[in-house]
Amino acid sequence: MPRKTELSRKLQQRAEKVIPGGVDSPVRAFRAVGGDPPWIVRGNGTLLWDADGNQYLDYVGSWGPLILGHAHPEVTRAIEAAARSGASFGASTPLELELAEAVVAAFPVIEKLRFVSSGTEATMSAIRLARAHTSRKYIVKFEGCYHGHADSLLVKAGSGVATLGIPGSAGVLDELAQFTLALPYNNVAAVEQAFAKFKDQIACVIVEPVVGNMGCVPPVAGYLEALRAITKNAGALLILDEVMTGFRVAFGGAQQLYGITPDLTTLGKIIGGGLPVGAYGGRAEIMDKVAPLGPVYQAGTLSGNPLAMAAGLATLKHLRAHPEIYTRLESLAGVLVEKVSAAAEAAGVKLTANRVGSMFTWFFQSGKVSDWDSAAKSDTAAFGKWHRAMLERGVYLPPSQYEAAFLSNAHTEDDVRETVEAARESFKSL
C-alpha cells in the first residue's frame, strides 16, 4: 500500500506561506529526490512516524547526533530533569562544567573548550581564533566539506588549484570570500601549492577528517598526516571539524581513529544528544586568547544551556560505559552496506559504497569516490528514484545523494535484514 501523504502535504503547503520553501534547512524540502517530504511527529529507537501515520526505519538520526537512537531513556530522563530545574539562565551551570570535563577526557588534545549553540558557531569561532593566534588572513578549506554557513566558509574553488575563493551563496561578500582558498579534498599537492603561493599568509587549514557533506568520503592513506605536517612546518593551525565525526567514528573521534593531533577541534551533534550544541577547543595557549582571558571575542546567551548539556552528558556517559557499542556499530554497518551493495550488483545497478564506522553512503556510480569531482559523477536521478522507492517501503534515508547516512546502536539485525530486502525490491524499480 502506498504511503499516505495528505497531512504532510497540507503541513508543507501551510509552512510555505510563512517559512522560506516551507523548511528551516534546505535539504528537508526533498528537492534533490522529489516527492512529498514527510512531516515527522514522533521517534523512538530506530523508528519515525510522520503526520500521516507512516512508520519508517530511520538512517538519518537527525543527521548524526542520535547514536543511541531516538528518545533513548537515559537521555530523555536527563532532559526532563534539567527542564524541571529551568531551561536557561544565561549563567554558568554545573552541567556545562561536567560535559566540558567529559569532552576533554575523551580528546587529550583539547585542554580547554568553549560551548556554543551550533556547529556553524564552532567553526566560525575556531577560524577567528586561528586568525588571531597566527596574525594571518587566509584560510584553506576543501571542496565538498561543509563547515556551516558562515560567510568565509560558503565558497567554492575557482578554476585553479590555489585560486582565491568566490562566493557560493548570494549575500557573501567577495571581500570576505577572497581570503578563503578552496582546494580539492584528498589532494596533498594542491595544499602544498597553496602554501607555496601564499607563503606565511595562511592562518589555518580546516577539514572534515571524514567528509559527510558530499556523502561519506574518507581520507586516503597519509592525507591527514600530510595536512598536519604542512601546517606545522608553515606555522599554520590545523582545525579538525569533528562536528559530525566526534564520538561517532570512535569515542575520541576521527583524530583517535587516524592518530592525528590537531591544533583546534570543533564538535557538535552527539555532544548535545540531539539538542542544539557546538564546541571548539584545543591547546590552552590558543584557547586562552578567547575572552575574557584574551582579545578574541565570542559570546552566546544560550551557550552551555542546561538542556543540551544534560542530553550530551547522558549520551557521553552511556558511550563511555559501553565501549562495545563502537565494535557493534562497525560490524552491523559493515553488514548493511555490503549487503545493499550486493543487492545492487545483482540488479545490475552501478553502486559504490563508502563507509567509516557507522557513517556511510551509497553513491550511484561505479567509480571510486574520493573528492567532490568524483562524487559529482553520481547519477542523482537514479538515487532520487531509489530514495522514493525506499521511502515507500518504510526506509528513511538522507534525501540527497551528497549526505551521509548513519546507523545507531538501536538498530538491530532484523532492521538490517528489512532494509536490505527493501533495497533489493527498490533496485528493481530502476
Quick count: other Cβ atoms within 10 Å of Cβ 176?
16
pLDDT for 41 equals 98
CA distance 117 to 130: 20
**What is the rounded average pLDDT of the residues 146-170?**
59
Report pTM.
Answer: 0.95
Catalytic residue among 185, 223, 258, 269: 269
pLDDT above 80: residue 172:
no
pLDDT in the model for residue 156: 53
Sheet order of strands, 395-396 included? 40-44, 47-50, 55-58, 395-396
Measured in whole angstroms, the distance separating CA 381 from the mean position of its chain's CA atoms is 24
Tell me: pLDDT of 73 over 60.
yes
The CA dihedral of 263, 267, 271, 277, to the nearest 10 degrees, is 130
Annotated catalytic residue 146: yes
* pLDDT(173) > 70: yes
Catalytic residue among 56, 59, 146, 280: 146
The set of cell numbers assigned to 401 is: 545523494
Taking 70 as the threshold, does the pLDDT of residue 124 lie above it? yes
6-61+323-428 domain in CATH 3.90.1150.10? yes
DSSP H helices in 32-172: 73-85, 94-106, 119-134
> Can you give the pLDDT at residue 176?
78
Q: Where in the chain is the domain with CATH 3.90.1150.10?
A: 6-61+323-428
Mean pLDDT, the chain, rounded, equals 94
Known catalytic membership, residue 269 = yes
Integer Cα distance of 192 and 159 in angstroms: 17
Which residues, at least 6 apart from 365, have a Cβ–Cβ distance to it below 8 Å? 350, 351, 352, 377, 378, 379
CATH classification code of 74-321: 3.40.640.10
pLDDT tens readout for residues 223-244: 999 999 999 999 999 999 999 9
Averaged pLDDT for residues 295-324: 97
State the span(s) of the chain assigned CATH 3.40.640.10: 74-321
Return phi, psi of residue 137, to 5°. -100, -40
Average pLDDT estimate for 28-47: 96
Active site (annotated) includes residue 241: yes
Q: Has residue 158 got a pLDDT over 50?
A: no
- Which of 50, 52, 58, 241 is catalytic? The answer is 241
Give the cell for residue 54: 507512516
- The reported pLDDT for the residue numbered 167 is 55
* pLDDT band, very low/low/confident/very high, at 216 (cuts 50, 70, 90): very high
Position 162 pLDDT exceeds 70: no
